[in-house]
Amino acid sequence: MTQTPELPVLRLLPKANARAIRRGAPWIYDNELVMDRRSRKLPAGSLARLEENDHSPLGIVAVNTASKIVGRMLDRDETAQIDKAWLAAKLTKALELRARLYDAPFYRLIHAEADGLPGVIIDRFGDTAVIQPNAAWAEVLLDDLTAALAEVTGVTNILKNAGGRGRALEGLDDVDMVLKGAAPEAALPVQMNGATYMADLTGGQKTGLFFDQRENHGFAARLASGTRVLDVFSHVGGFALAALAGGAANALAVDGSAPALALAEEGARQMGAADRFAIRQGDAFDTMTALAEEGARFDVVVCDPPAFAPNKPALEKGLRAYERVARLSAGLVDEGGYLVLCSCSHAADLTAFTGACLRGIGRAGRRAQLIHTGQAGPDHPLLPQLAESGYLKALFFRL
């Protein structure tokens, strides 16, 4: 799809902070723009030139007037052609970073705004890639994006995952599909930190595996040699399998999903650690309460829950949930043991999340040393002008 020379214009209101946009802010909200009848009629996913109120050009934005984020900055150059070649250039730059970081093609290739493709997530699993086009412009250009992705990376299978929360906000469907090649017939083994994870690319959560915790898994594994490990909200074995690879005596994985735990068991089997691995399906809060009543204690306890505070309205309730997680899990840690608490809620910043964790640990009657603070791995780069891109926090305590 080739951009036409004359694009419609979106103009900032006089009160809008054009300086922030020039400095890299990637989003333009509806209350920052002159939203006249012509602007409101722009089709979702179309392109427009963004101008200051005095007509000074700011660049090219993708438009969706049905969203609070009406404009997503694509290029500071108002003459740029947003087409397959432009997409390929972005993908090439992203690939160069990942190829330098990792010796195998298993990583997040595109991390949305931070890689210059707002709303787009692409995870790579060898010769298969999974795209989450969570913004309308990416859906419009999906054919070009698919072709560019195959051309730049050489992947033979490309899947569309339409399960991202942002798609509903953009007015997009929730229909998954195969864009190129074929979907894997079974879960794919992925090696990270010496552990084997089974990634279900068609039926699993998100794109099939969470690459963002890779470095935090590795740090936890350094603490795990010879220990008893409890991994709560384990998904497909995240921290538990990394701990086993690090020499843990045994690991118990807790999750509400039976299919996820079955994948965790298969991962443990493939890495030769099935005899040291156990699972327990059930609600995390109920299971931690039951373990405490049973007198169970562990040397390392990890809790990596889903986003309890996915947005600002949910923040207060989410922080209470994180505090409860900390209280219940701290009581399961042996003296001198380690507690790892994680949050993927971008609405709960590091200070708020740390405070909730410390309150919970204190309510459990424990005293903590904070020994390490982790974030998402470097294949999930942070865009400094967008706080939401720094969503992941991992706090490592010694109790």
Cα separation, 86 vs 385, whole angstroms: 23
Residue 8 sits at the vertex; the CA angle it makes with 6 and 14, to the nearest 5 degrees, is 130
Q: What stretch of H or E contains 94?
A: helix 84-101
**Residue 356: C-alpha distances to residues 89, 93, 375 (Å):** 42, 38, 17
Is residue 329 within 8 A of residue 365, CB to CB? The reply is no
Q: Collect all residues with Cβ–Cβ distance below 8 Å to 132 and sequence separation of at least 6.
A: 120, 121, 122, 160, 161, 162, 163, 164, 206, 207
Judge whether 342 counts as a catalytic residue.
Answer: no
Cα separation, 204 vs 198, whole angstroms: 10
Fill in the amino acid letter for 117: L
Is residue 398 within 8 A of residue 371, CB to CB? The reply is yes
**Residue 64: C-alpha distances to residues 49, 265, 355, 361 (Å):** 13, 43, 37, 44
The residue among 22, 15, 86 whose CA lies nearest residue 58 is 22
Q: Which long-range contacts (CB under 8 A, 24 or more apart) does 182-187 make?
A: 182/157, 183/157, 183/159, 184/128, 184/157, 187/263, 187/266
Task: Write down the number of H helices and E strands in the chain.
Answer: 12, 19
Is residue 250 within 8 A of residue 302, CB to CB? The reply is no
The DSSP string of 209-248 is S--TTHHHHHHHHHH-TT-EEEEES-TTTHHHHHHHHTT-
Task: Name the residues annotated as catalytic.
Answer: 344
